[in-house]
Amino acid sequence: MTLAKLKRIDQARIEISPDYKEGMRVKGIIYVDELLEKELEPQAIDQVANVATLPGIVGASMAMPDIHTGYGFAIGGVAAFDLKEGIVSPGGVGYDINCGVRLLRSNLTRQEVLPKLENLVNLLYSEIPAGVGSKGKIRLSPEDQKRILVRGARWAVEQGFGDAEDLQKIESGGCMEGADPSLISNKAYERGRAQQGTLGSGNHFLEIQYVDEIFDERAANILGLFKDHITLMIHTGSRGFGHQVCTDFLQVMERAAQKYRIPLYDKELACAPYDSPDARDYLAAMKAAANYAWANRQCIMHWAREVFMKQFGLPPGKLGMNLIYDVAHNIAKIEEHEINGIRRKLIVHRKGATRAFPPGHPELPDVYKPLGQPVLIPGDMGRSSFVLLGTQKAMEETFGSTCHGAGRLMSRHQAIRRAKGRSIRREMEDKGIIVRSAGRDTLAEEMSDAYKDISNVVEVVHRAGISTKVVRLKPLGVIKG
């Protein structure tokens, strides 16, 4: 493919012309500035173009500035499909269904935490299971498993893991209606049985942070974020359960694409028409995995709160560890959007992209309706994370979507090779960041060099107006799998 068919629209966007590849039904749009454009992978550009060939796609095939090559869809990809002509594709959600981010604020200051930081990190590491195949404290009966898949974070609250008010600050209230446990394979149940309440491995983490810089004082005050105050960020998803659901339904969708004679420019884009039994079954199973993930983050949050209470000897009211928001970034949802002046229901796929709804949106909790949706963007473990707000411009341009993180520059194997002879743990400690990890190679895989600079990524979406900066968060202690 010729790069001559890539055209810069403005300082934040480039366009992939519909004649870039045969079969494209719409253009592609990638949100990158000139700096990040240099880091674009040709394969990821091709994936954005491939998505533009799918039936019923509306508007444009899009990718955020953290774009990198994924399975089928590029990670950072956003695509919306008509409910009559369009499709559903597991590749547009990803293997880690409802991988997402949860952020808590606290009344603690950085100065209060630093003397106890190492003990705090060690205690969190001992109390919250992490690593490949990690097993949690919760042992689920078959009926418990089914209840989690239907109830999501509500199940966790009903078991005493958190408070009912937490549910108000979780996307979809922590539960997508319409999950069907009968569609889940025995293998998925087996993989999920002992992993509820576990962090997992790879880029998943629990991070103690502090508010380093405030860009929007009014918004920060409403969110309860103040300079030098401590926050806690949790980044994980549906673990092996969601991975197996995706694996199972990719096989279903491969057969469906042949059955419905859908031309695929990449077999990883296996899909089925939205109104087909195959797509309905996948979405019902995906919702079950999404609910598993929300319950998972709810349990982890509850245990983390208990660790902070124990370490600082403070009751909940004085500790003030309240949930700011929880948002998914690997999910497909039915949403209403305006297309050519007409409100339409669409199935929006976000894979490595975060919902960014504007002030007044009916899906936001009342407390955030005047403000807009909190957007939580984690960076790599050695730099920063950000809180932003959703905007009306995002609704108009990106189906209410923005970036989800820093985006990888290196594969995990490349990162391990690049880190040979280095002590990433010591390098982190030299920066004042205490790290604990279960896997030997995890720190090498997750070193800062392996990622784009989150500040550059966030600056693109801020300048584009699809989400606006509120605060920057700096890491103090990190738990990795």
Torsion of CA 33, 36, 38, 39, to 10 degrees: -150
Whole-angstrom CA distances from 229 to 214, 224, 225 are: 11, 9, 7
- Distant-in-sequence, close-in-space partners of 96: CB < 8 Å, separation ≥ 6: 237, 238, 239, 242, 243, 330
- Count other C-beta atoms under 10 Å from residue 360's C-beta: 12
DSSP type of residue 157:
H
CA distances for 360 relative to 176, 369, 371, 392, angstroms? 21, 5, 8, 10
CA 250 from chain centre, in angstroms, equals 21
Instruction: Give CA–CA dist 256/274, Å, rounded.
Output: 11
> What is the rounded distance in angstroms from the CA atom of residue 67 to the CA atom of residue 407?
6
**Alpha carbons 147 and 391: distance in angstroms, whole number:** 35
In the block, residue with structure tokens 């738990």 = 479
**Burial class of residue 210, CB neighbours in 10 A (0-12, 13-18, 19+):** buried
CA angle, corner 474, sides to 468 and 475, nearest 5? 135
| Residue in 204, 361, 404, 462 annotated catalytic | 404
> What are the tokens at 252?
């279903």
User: Which helix (H) or strand (E) is 476 found in, with range?
Assistant: strand 467-480
Task: Provide the β-strand partners of residue 58.
Answer: 80
Q: Are 403 and 353 in contact (CB under 8 A)?
A: yes
Phi, psi at 162, each rounded to 5°: 105, -175
* Max CA separation in the chain (angstroms): 64
Active site residue 204: no
Catalytic residues: 404
